[in-house]
Amino acid sequence: MDRRQALLGQFLSAAAIMVVVGWTVASPAFADDVGASKSELIRGLLPTVVNISVRKEEPASPTAATVSAAAPTASPGPAIKSFVGSGFVIDPSGLIVTNYHVVEDAFEVTVTFSDGTRLLGKTMSASRIADLALVKVEADHPLTAAHWGNSDSLQVGDQVFAAGDPFGIGLSVSAGIVSGLNRDIQDSPYDHLIQTDAAINHGNSGGPLFDMQGNVVGVDSDIISPTYGSSGIGFAIPSSTAHFVVDQLRTYGWVHPGWIGVKVQTVTREIADAMGMARPEGSIVSWVLPDGPAKKAGLAIGDVILRYGGSTLSDERALLRDIARTPVGNTITLIVRHDGNERSVPITIEAWPRSQWDARDAPIQVQRPKITIPPDLGLSLAALATDEKAKLGLEDGLDGVLVTSVAPNSDSARRGMVSGDVILRVQDKPVTRPAEVQSGVNAARASKHDFVLMLVLPKARDVPGPKWVALQLDTAGG
């Protein structure tokens, strides 16, 4: 579907009102003070915003008009690509919120702060449906954390600003207004996104959308554009949803949503006419799961849910969101209409069965890409995951490349290398990626060396520390 690029109007930071009380010209000091307070506010928030760079194996390319705002960068090795996104700190201990699609399938996550500090991150938990993930970093000091705001109080026209790392060029801020609310771009059954004309580009994914008090009211996630860049139509996950999902991920490791076991759809004008309703309202039940809370409460196919716990809901997405957010064990009263008659239906919320939810939402386990370097060495390698370093005995600041397998009868096997060894250096150059090991081997071969030197931390150690291993090269085959 073609989308015409909208023309962006000038952003007005304040309205000037001239009042004549003994003076013929109003003082500009007020406008200057407003500008100064905004810049001071933004500077104070920048330490909470981070760049997130990830490495993935053969990620899928977006094909639809609605695409994620994560920006690809140059690939450091074959079949592996690097991407950048954004995030923000929510806990001084090092907990960071970003989009799920930023860290999806990533085998390496690096977090860069506004002061240039770089730390390795680990994805703790995530939700594909909500497009949110939690990344943890280990810092040697408490981090500056952002504060959640109330997205439910937003109105169209409110001023907001987005912070993130568009196209990987560095931390940037863009200002705009709330252009629309409750937008459904069909990313999930729960969509109610904030639309903004604050510039959101590829790389802004996962960054915060702030209100003018400096509170996070949204998580930047999507753009609609006929080009690769912003066309003034960006979307953010409301903080009301993001905060709920993040709290669930922190508490349970998954969303743990409330559940009643029904399938519903919005009553359209056509459905209302067919049912003899005066106007379209509520959500009609199209399926009731056996043994679910709805079935136990007496809900039936064809019932129209008009109100949920006293709230009149705009559409099925609003109903599903309210059900998901209701604490498990609470009893909620539904107002239901069937054949023109209304009745009250009390229903006790249960937890969505974990096995069913995992089938819909559980993040895919990432398999780290492996690189097999020349057959004469017989080594298969993988990047080290952050949580493996302590288990392998690597000291703080020490990094390397994990040996995942050693070919039988290879020179590496003959010299005692085994799966679980860690290569720290090749020809006295530190290595952190399999591609760097490959480059070191290639350089030694190009220099006509018969051997390549590697500093190896053995899996099994008779004495502490690493050792140097010289592996024979097949120079004739290189």
DSSP character at residue 352: P
3-state DSSP call for residue 222? strand
In a domain, 144, yes or no: yes
In a domain, 357, yes or no: no
DSSP character at residue 260: -
Is residue 225 annotated as part of the catalytic site, yes or no?
no
Quick one: pLDDT at residue 60? Answer: 43
Is residue 53 annotated as part of the catalytic site, yes or no?
no
In a domain, 420, yes or no: yes
Of the listed 53, 125, 205, 221, which one is catalytic?
205
User: How far, in Å, CA of 98 to CA of 123, rounded?
Assistant: 10
Question: CA torsion, points 164, 168, 171, 176, in degrees to nearest 10?
Answer: -50
Last residue of a domain, one of 254, 283, 306: 254
In a domain, 363, yes or no: no
SS3 content of the chain, % helix, strand, coil (to 5): 20, 35, 45
Whole-prediction pTM value? 0.66
Q: Are residues 181 and 236 in the same domain?
A: yes
Count structural domains, the chain.
3
In a domain, 359, yes or no: no
100 near 126, Cβ under 8 Å? yes
Q: Are residues 212 and 106 in the same domain?
A: yes
User: How far, in Å, CA of 165 to CA of 52, rounded?
Assistant: 9
Q: Are residues 311 and 456 in the same domain?
A: no
Q: Are residues 107 and 79 in the same domain?
A: yes
Q: Are residues 196 and 215 in the same domain?
A: yes
Q: Are residues 262 and 250 in the same domain?
A: no
Quick one: pLDDT at residue 69? Answer: 55
Last residue of a domain, one of 208, 232, 254: 254
In a domain, 466, yes or no: yes
Quick one: pLDDT at residue 186? Answer: 64
Helix, strand counts (H, E) of the chain: 10, 29
Q: Are residues 171 and 281 in the same domain?
A: no
Query: Which strand (E) or helix (H) includes residue 336?
Result: strand 331-338
Q: Are residues 219 and 87 in the same domain?
A: yes
Pairing verdict, β 331-338 and 304-308:
antiparallel
The type of residue at 206 is G
Of the listed 53, 125, 127, 131, which one is catalytic?
131
Please report, for the domain that includes residue 471, its CATH number: 2.30.42.10
The type of residue at 115 is D
In a domain, 366, yes or no: no
User: How far, in Å, CA of 249 to CA of 253, rounded?
Assistant: 4
Quick one: pLDDT at residue 334? Answer: 93
Q: Are residues 128 and 179 in the same domain?
A: yes
Burial of 210 (0-12, 13-18, 19+ CB in 10 A): buried
82 near 177, Cβ under 8 Å? no
User: How far, in Å, CA of 434 to CA of 86, rounded?
Assistant: 26
Quick one: pLDDT at residue 367? Answer: 59
Return the half-sphere exposure (C-beta side, CA atoms, 13 A cut-off) of residue 441.
22
Low-confidence ranges of the chain (pLDDT < 70): 1-36, 58-79, 186-190, 225-231, 362, 364-376, 386-387, 390, 393, 395-397, 462, 475-478
In a domain, 407, yes or no: yes
Quick one: pLDDT at residue 33? Answer: 57
Domain that holds residue 285: 258-351
User: How far, in Å, CA of 209 to CA of 42, rounded?
Assistant: 12
The stretches of 91-238 forming alpha helices (DSSP H) are 100-103
Listed residue (268, 210, 278) closest to 45, CA to CA: 210
Burial of 191 (0-12, 13-18, 19+ CB in 10 A): middle
Provide DSSP, 131-166.
TEEEEEE--SSPPP---B--GGG--TT-EEEEEE-G
Q: Are residues 300 and 387 in the same domain?
A: no
Quick one: pLDDT at residue 181? Answer: 87
Q: Are residues 266 and 212 in the same domain?
A: no
Last residue of a domain, one of 351, 381, 412: 351
73 near 53, Cβ under 8 Å? yes
Quick one: pLDDT at residue 59? Answer: 41
Listed residue (453, 431, 439) closest to 384, CA to CA: 431
Is residue 101 annotated as part of the catalytic site, yes or no?
yes
Of the listed 86, 101, 256, 412, which one is catalytic?
101
Quick one: pLDDT at residue 92? Answer: 96
Structure tokens at 181: 């609310």
Q: Are residues 250 and 267 in the same domain?
A: no
Quick one: pLDDT at residue 399? Answer: 84
Quick one: pLDDT at residue 348? Answer: 93
Please report, for the domain that includes residue 60, its CATH number: 2.40.10.120
Burial of 442 (0-12, 13-18, 19+ CB in 10 A): middle
